[in-house]
Every structure is written in C-alpha cells, then in structure tokens.
C-alpha cells in the first residue's frame, strides 16, 4: 500500500460523524490513476463509517476528476456507486459529478438524462449533484434544473409507502428545490408554485421542507409566508 493511501486511511475522520472532506478534495485534485485505482481496491458492498469507506469515496471523486475530459466516461465509471447502501459512497458520486460539471453543466445535464430514467437512488444522485449553488450561476442552467426537479418531484404524486431509495430521493428534493429557487428567484418561484398545491402527501412534504430553509426566507420572506399560508 502506498504512502498516499496510508495517509488517507489514517486521516479519514472515520469512524465518526464526518469524514475529512478537505483531504478528499485535496487528494482527488492531485491523484494519479494508479492511486485512484488503489483506492477502489478497498471497495466492498458492506462499507460503513470506516477509513476504508473514506478511501473509496476518494477513489470515486478521483475517477471523475481524472476523466473530466470525457464526461460520458466519467459518469459511466461511477454510476453503479450511486445505489450503494452507504450514504457516504452515494454522496461521493454527487461530489464527483459536481467536480466535472463546473465548466460544462449543460453537457452533464444531458448525460444525466439516462440517470433520470433509473431508480430512485440514481435520481437522488442527480438532485444532490446539480442542486449546488456553484453550478447555478448561469440562468439557463438554473432553468433546466428546475425542469429536472419538477419532473422528478411529480413521480411522487401518487406514491404511497416509499422504498428506502425513495425516502433518500425525497430528502434530497426536500432541500434541492430551495437551492434552485434561490439561484434564480423569478423563474424558481414560479416553478415551485406550480408544484406547491399538489395534493400528493409526499409532494406536500417536499414543499414544506423547502419552505423551512433559510436561503428562501433570506431571498423573499414575504413570499415564503404567503406560500406557507397557501399550503397550510
């Protein structure tokens, strides 16, 4: 085992409540292909709150960074990890997507169309990856994301009992809308209002959760109050 991987294991922050994300980003931006694949050798279906889990996270993000010149290949190389039982492994996929999306977000959204037709955890990866303020500085990107969120949210319109994957997806939507709306308030508020009065119980939950977020009250507190009244 190389010194770099040994350093990741010893400084992972796991087991614990929070992995060492600063180390993860630092590694991913400078890792060699050999180091990334050495990280991936630690992969196991049962990874949970361990230094090994952190090392695999580093490998997933590192793969994306190394392959950023070929986004299609990068996404294909990490898609399988979006459905892992470990929430940290799933989050590493979202982080990896964000790392390659900054300069070509429209391309990434095009490629993620395939994931939107996948299972709930794959759609959750789409939401978690794209609902990131640094990716939403272009209004055309924000508009496309709002369309994506509307499409995914409406899948809950007639849902009753949720699977674990659907619960994770609903949680991501429970904050993701607020990020998208705050990034582009004019079109964002209109898109949010279009789902807000839907009677589906899970959509109502998503609406309520987003209205609790400080980024929305900071954007337009009066609008939030009106929405809370309308959806009570």
> pLDDT tens digits for 170-220?
999 999 999 999 999 999 999 999 999 999 999 999 999 999 999 999 999
pTM of the model: 0.95
Q: Are residues 76 and 167 in the same domain?
A: no
Stretch among 17-21, 101-105, 183-187 having the lowest mean pLDDT: 101-105
Q: Are residues 149 and 91 in the same domain?
A: no
Asked if the structure places residue 181 within a domain, the reply is yes
- Domain that residue 86 falls in: 1-101
Number of C-alpha atoms within 13 angstroms, CB side, residue 124? 24
Q: Are residues 160 and 217 in the same domain?
A: yes
Asked if the structure places residue 129 within a domain, the reply is no
Number of domains in the chain: 2
d(CA 58, CA 219): 35
Q: Are residues 96 and 184 in the same domain?
A: no
Domain end position, chosen among 84, 101, 118? 101
Residue 84: φ, ψ to 5°: -65, 150
d(CA 145, CA 180): 7
Contact 88, 55 (CB under 8 A): no
Asked if the structure places residue 121 within a domain, the reply is no
With b meaning 16 or more CB within 10 Å and e meaning fewer, what string describes 43-77?
beeebeebbbbbbbbbbbbbbbbbbbeebeebbeb
Asked if the structure places residue 116 within a domain, the reply is no
Asked if the structure places residue 128 within a domain, the reply is no
* Residues whose CB is less than 8 angstroms from the CB of residue 147 and which lie 6 or more positions away in sequence, other chains included: 191
Q: Are residues 93 and 150 in the same domain?
A: no
Q: Are residues 148 and 95 in the same domain?
A: no
Question: 45-100 pLDDT, tens per residue?
Answer: 999 999 999 999 999 999 999 999 999 999 999 999 999 999 999 999 999 999 99
Q: Are residues 166 and 218 in the same domain?
A: yes
Q: Are residues 145 and 95 in the same domain?
A: no
Return the percent helix, strand and coil in the chain, to nearest 5: 75, 0, 25
Asked if the structure places residue 20 within a domain, the reply is yes
Asked if the structure places residue 108 within a domain, the reply is no
Asked if the structure places residue 168 within a domain, the reply is yes
């Amino acid at each position: 085992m190389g010194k770099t991987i040994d350093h990741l294991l010893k400084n992972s922050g796991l087991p614990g409540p929070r992995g060492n994300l600063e180390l993860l980003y630092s590694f991913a931006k400078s890792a060699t292909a050999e180091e990334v694949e050495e990280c991936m050798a630690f992969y196991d279906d049962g990874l949970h709150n361990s230094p090994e889990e952190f090392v695999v996270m580093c490998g997933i993000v590192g793969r994306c960074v190394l392959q950023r010149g070929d986004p299609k290949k990068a996404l294909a190389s990490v898609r399988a990890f979006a459905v892992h039982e470990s929430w940290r492994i799933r989050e590493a996929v979202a982080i990896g997507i964000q790392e390659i999306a900054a300069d070509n977000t429209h391309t990434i959204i095009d490629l993620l169309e395939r994931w939107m037709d996948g299972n709930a955890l794959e759609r959750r990866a789409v939401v978690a990856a794209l609902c990131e303020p640094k990716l939403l500085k272009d209004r055309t990107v924000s508009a496309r994301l709002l369309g994506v969120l509307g499409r995914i949210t409406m899948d809950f319109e007639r849902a009753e009992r949720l699977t674990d994957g659907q619960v994770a997806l609903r949680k991501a939507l429970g904050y993701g809308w607020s990020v998208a709306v705050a990034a582009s308030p004019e079109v964002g508020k209109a898109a949010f209002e279009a789902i807000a009065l839907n009677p589906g119980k899970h959509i109502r939950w998503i609406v309520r959760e987003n209205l609790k977020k400080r980024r929305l009250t900071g954007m337009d507190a009066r609008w939030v109050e009106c929405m809370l009244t309308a959806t009570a």
